[in-house]
Amino acid sequence: EKTSAPVRWWDWTSVVLLFLLLQTIASRLVATTWTPFLYLTQTAAYMAFAVGVALGYSHFSARVTRWLSLAYMVIMLPLQWTLMIDQDTSLEEQLMSVAGRLYFSSSDFFARRPVDDPIFFVVVMTFTFWFISSWASFALVRKQNYLGAVIPSAIGILIIQNYDRVASGRIWFIAFFAFMALLLLGRLHFLQNRKAWRERRVFLSPDNSLELSSSMAVAAALLILVSWTVPA
């Protein structure tokens, strides 16, 4: 007897909302200007997001997807780090230079000496954003796990905000992040309800769907504006 393959979940709106959410936290880190080449974290988040979405949509087991994600990370991130090296040299020389600088920076860090080379911080951040972005996209597409997709990046943006409070206007990154998170929550809730409505044979026209989506966006925007504008 043949068994049918499991139905793969996909929703463009949810995927785009999560992408914007993850790029918001990456942009928040870049806005700190703590060190050069922080823009590489945005690239790492983008690549990890694509990998996580593809693996989440696939039929691979969770164990296989973890190893595949690790393999992509081992290949892609070192190539990104070479962008911090003189581009006139060969790729082999660039990789060797990255390895050497990481070795000396790590030695200074574990010896509790000041680390002047920005490559150490950039490497740690690209690792971190790879794990956050790949896990979030995988959790959304494979399991529709809202908390798994949002909580790690929410913790990350709060930590960044806590250590970078020089410009008060940057707190609006958190406002936009919360807006995207609320929209994603509303979208997933709507999809769950729509499935239940179909099982009960409740008709929902495209106009009604658009109206519900617009209402969710307006409600989320009002909630964020009220939260950010009332006195402390």
Q: How far is CA 104 from the centre of its chain?
A: 30
Give the pLDDT confidence of 154-210 residue by residue, as tens digits.
999 999 988 887 777 788 888 889 888 888 988 888 888 776 656 666 555 555 555
Of 50, 44, 24, 17, whose CA–CA distance to 144 is shortest? Answer: 17
Rounded-to-integer distance, Cα 180 and Cα 216, Å: 11
**pLDDT given for residue 140 in this prediction:** 93
**pLDDT given for residue 3 in this prediction:** 44
**pLDDT given for residue 48 in this prediction:** 95
Tokens of 109: 């860090």
* 52 and 174 Cβ atoms separated by less than 8 Å: no
Please, which residues have CB within 8 angstroms of residue 89's CB and are 6 or more apart in sequence? 97
Query: Has residue 1 got a pLDDT over 50?
Result: no
